Structure 1
């Protein structure tokens, strides 16, 4: 079937249109990713689904096609998949980078990947945190072997998908591609942690991860849509682990401030790690986020144990910095 055939299924009109099955969605996204669908058809499909709202079958099928498309990255040995695709306008500094460093220092291999608007939201901070940017699987393996942590730009994972995100400038809206990228898990890590900005997407991503065979997935409404725990709020943890669903995470502080109200000085990110700047809220954000990631990996049986583990990692971080 051509891409036009799948558009006819979802856009035929009231009483005649229906959602795509998972198999149909996977095939339709395959046409989008291999470039056999005309640009007009791609826009028509994505915006029709945006107007109606995507189903679990559609998100699962689309994410499955993305995994097929990124197959060459599945040779990587990765414990934790950490997607980062938010624009950063509603959040402060990326404290979760320090959380990822702690998880890597616990002995896990962590793969960050993403595209963050103009990328000032994340990539400009990577070098100072010793996080290598890898363009190939070989370079990613070398970085993981060296420090346990690597960042893969979306354009290295899939140039075609980067172009799909750029359609927002022409269509005026985001599409389900943003959601599917969070579920893509390019390296096939056994565990994935994901953030959302809009809570209804948690269930869609949870279902897709389960159907696509991820051993564990944790999805939260995080800071600016990233996987980042706000320490002043209780966090609802969606997803599944080896023994079932996650319990929710209580607030760590009695402090409801916004993330943007912590600091706007980029130097504070490194200064917090180095111990030359102190801020209880920022530190609680780092440790709380790391604890959720450690818990999802099965490093600790309970969230309380994971929080204590994160605190111990922080206390010994000075001798175990990223390469």
Structure 2
């Protein structure tokens, strides 16, 4: 089935393009994820959306289409429900370029507090140090199935799942980047993905970290979170990773049911830095994993900004679990 009619709407340039509604967007991305279109059409979609930019309604449709094609996580959901501690989702799609990638450290800190943590993203990136590589070096669970994720959570450990296992069609769309040289809407969708959305009615308590690299994206992501009535912590990531900069705490905006919760949100750290945390030399996976182990054993302190983020997420889960507090 051709998506030419959709491309005609979104592909008229920055000024001439028009937005799609949520239903059209879900149909469009659904056809792409189901490989019902040609490679040429996929390339046209990626370039058109790159120029136009996504609206909140389009993102809502894209995310809905992707959720329905994710790996079912029924067993892991039941572990979270029975444990009563809730779930934190950490989308890890950028990796480390200059700084150490401390997403695994945040995940481990949350797991130590009793939270079920799922990190998802690519296993490898030819230009960055991925969280998967840090997990491997730290001997933390890398899972590929619902059962393996449930087993890791029962053991009180965080888990990493390759996006190719969590949502193979989305992984294929993400890989288009290496052909055309540009990111596409799939990268934004990946950072908004919540594979537990289908289990919300069963009582799954889940908060996802949604991070951005440029301040202007905070506005469009806020619009999406409000429209989708999402439970999330919105923040500027560290090199695009969903973890607070170890040197200075960024702003944390907490959304419950799509509404910003002033009591849970936190202002950014201001002023001149007077002391830098004890961080690993370089950004290699092995050194980062060794540092993570030292922090978890207590021989090195957890950076204050990451501790604040973990506190914020736990408080958000606790508030989310109390409906009268959210209301």
Q: TM-score range by the shorter chain?
A: 0.7 to 0.9
TM-score by length of 1: 0.80
8 Å CA contact 2:232–2:254 kept in 1: the answer is yes
Match of 1:87 among 79, 82, 95: 95
Aligned to 2:10: 10
Q: Which residue of 2 aligns with 1:199?
A: 215
3-state SS, counterpart of residue 147 of structure 1:
coil
1:249 aligns with 2:264: no
CA contact (8 A) 1:197 1:224 kept: yes
**Is the 2:13–2:52 Cα contact (8 Å) retained in structure 1?**
no
Equivalence map 1:269-284=2 (5 Å) = 269-276=292-299, 278=300, 283-284=303-304
Report the secondary structure of 1:240's partner residue. strand
- Cα distance in 1 between the residues matched to 2:279 and 2:271: 15
Aligned-partner Cα distance in 2 for 1:50–1:114:
21
Aligned CA RMSD, in angstroms, stands at 3.0
- Any stretches of 5+ residues in structure 2 without a counterpart? 81-86, 198-204, 322-327
1:176 maps to 2:185 = yes
Give the TM-score normalised by the residue count of structure 2. 0.79
Of the three residues 116, 119, 125, the one matched with 1:117 is 125
- What CA distance in whole angstroms lies between the structure 2 residues aligned with 1:274 and 1:7? 53
Corresponding residue number in structure 1 for 2:252: 237
SS at match of 2:239: helix
- Residues 1:224 and 2:239 aligned together: yes
After superposition, the Cα gap between the structure-2 partners of 1:38 and 1:256, relative to the gap in structure 1 and judged at 3 Å, is: farther
Aligned to 1:309: none
Q: Is the 8 A contact 1:84 1:226 kept in 2?
A: yes
Please give the residue correspondences for 1:35-54 in structure 2 after superposition, counting only pairs within 5 Å: 35-54=35-54
Give, in angstroms, the shift of residue 257 of structure 1: 8.8
CA distance in 2, matches of 1:59, 1:95: 28
Partner in structure 1 of residue 325 of structure 2: none
Secondary structure of 1:112's counterpart equals: strand
Give the match's secondary structure for 2:303.
helix
- 1:136-175 Cα shifts (integer Å, max 9, x gaps): 1111111111224211111101222222112112211111
Deviations 1:195-225 (A, max 9, x none): 22122223333333443343x2111002111
For 1:167 and 1:259, the matched residues in 2 are separated by 38
Equivalent residues in 2 for 1:91-106, closer than 5 Å = 91-92=99-100, 94-106=101-113
Which segments of structure 1 move beyond 4 Å, counting only runs of 4 or more? 12-16, 256-262
Do the aligned partners of residues 285 and 96 (structure 1) sit closer, same or farther apart at CA in structure 2, a change above 3 Å counting? farther
Secondary structure of the corresponding residue to residue 298 of structure 1: helix
User: Aligned with 2:155: secondary structure?
Assistant: helix
Q: Secondary structure at the match of 1:297?
A: helix
For residue 72 of structure 2, give the secondary structure of its aligned residue in structure 1: helix
Structure 1 portions without partners, runs of 5+: 302-323
